[in-house]
Amino acid sequence: MPDAPHVPAHLAPFVHADPARAFELSAIDPGDKPCSSGRKGDDRAAVESLAVELDALQNRFWADRRRKLLVVLQGTDTSGKDGTLRHVFGRMSPLGVRTAGWKAPNEVERAHDFLWRIHAAVPSSGEIVVFNRSHYEDVLVPVVNGDLDGDGLRQRLAQINDFERLLAETGTVVLKFMLHISRDEQRERLQARLDDPQKAWKFDPADLAARERWDDYQRAYQAALAATGTPWAPWIVVPADSKVHRNLMVATVLKSTLESLDLRFPPLPDDLRGVRVA
């Protein structure tokens, strides 16, 4: 069995790791705060100190070079993917950490299978790569648009599971977070983008069109997550109406996973012991 994410026991209700078991996205409350101390200021300080710990763990992960880590951030528009990148991964050195953002495929990418461009971007030894959106868009957007269903969808979901198993079996820990927000919270965040001059650049009119199909997207997420939560690449649903809680939970799972890997600084080879530099 390859290395897999390690999630603290009290977060088990938010993990889906077996496609044969029932999974209900709608049963998880986006306003829940399973990692919270109950005090926002303390939670915010905890995120800051976790980010510093994660920096040290990433340094060790990079030095160790025995594994790769792929973090997938999925969620609807405004669910907090960029904010998670900033607050959870923002203290790490850029040496060994990389993000890949996924927009609609271009002409060359469309001329290949949907996992072609994804595979090209997976982490190498020692690297942490964060996907800002991912191959899951390919089982969401076409489903909502009515271009993919039935056997075609089932095939693609199975291809994703096979692909992620390949990654896990070849040394990659695959950590998939679904940033789960409510429809009301999305309205407030979209409005904030319209009203705040420092956020306006993030507003995309297409987000309004997607919002009109909120229920369709939730159904597509439900089907995709249910089919692709596996032992080697489980889904972790993060209640994300609170930004601080979202950061806290992602950082907590990330730390727990990195600590479970027994990372080490490679020792000096025997023939270099006692060498003096002239």
CB-nearer residue toward a copy of itself: 1 or 277: 277
In the bound complex, what is the minimum distance in angstroms from residue 267's beta carbon to a copy of itself?
Answer: 6
Using CB under 8 A, which of 95, 120, 158, 206 touches a copy of itself? 95
Instruction: Enumerate the β-bridge partners of residue 174.
Output: 70
The reply to whether 90 sits near a copy of itself by the rule CB under 8 A is yes
Where do the H-state alpha helices sit in 145-242?
150-169, 183-195, 205-212, 214-228
Using CB under 8 A, which of 34, 101, 171, 231 touches a copy of itself? 101
The reply to whether 106 sits near a copy of itself by the rule CB under 8 A is no
Place of tokens 């939970």: 249
The reply to whether 99 sits near a copy of itself by the rule CB under 8 A is yes
DSSP letter, residue 104: S
Q: Which amino acid is at 126?
A: G
Four-residue CA torsion sign, 198, 202, 205, 211:
negative
Q: Report d(CA 242, CA 210) in Å as an integer.
A: 22
C-alpha angle 183-185-190 in degrees, rounded to nearest 5:
95
Number of chain positions touching a copy of itself (CB under 8 A): 42
CB-nearer residue toward a copy of itself: 93 or 170: 93
The reply to whether 91 sits near a copy of itself by the rule CB under 8 A is yes
In the bound complex, what is the minimum distance in angstroms from residue 168's beta carbon to a copy of itself?
Answer: 23
Q: Report d(CA 145, CA 167) in Å as an integer.
A: 29
CB-nearer residue toward a copy of itself: 159 or 182: 182
Place of tokens 């009203």: 195
Strand ranges (E), 22-123: 68-74, 97-101
The reply to whether 277 sits near a copy of itself by the rule CB under 8 A is yes
The reply to whether 89 sits near a copy of itself by the rule CB under 8 A is yes
In the bound complex, what is the minimum distance in angstroms from residue 211's beta carbon to a copy of itself?
Answer: 7
Name the nearest CA neighbour of 247 among 45, 92, 29, 13.
45
Q: Report d(CA 49, CA 174) in Å as an integer.
A: 24
Site string for a copy of itself, 188-227 (x = CB under 8 A): --xx--x--xxxxxxx-x--x--x----------------
The reply to whether 133 sits near a copy of itself by the rule CB under 8 A is no
Q: Report d(CA 278, CA 271) in Å as an integer.
A: 17
Q: Which residues bind a copy of itself (CB under 8 A)?
A: 55, 63, 65, 82, 85-86, 89-95, 97-99, 101, 130, 132, 187, 190-191, 194, 197-203, 205, 208, 211, 265-268, 272, 275-278
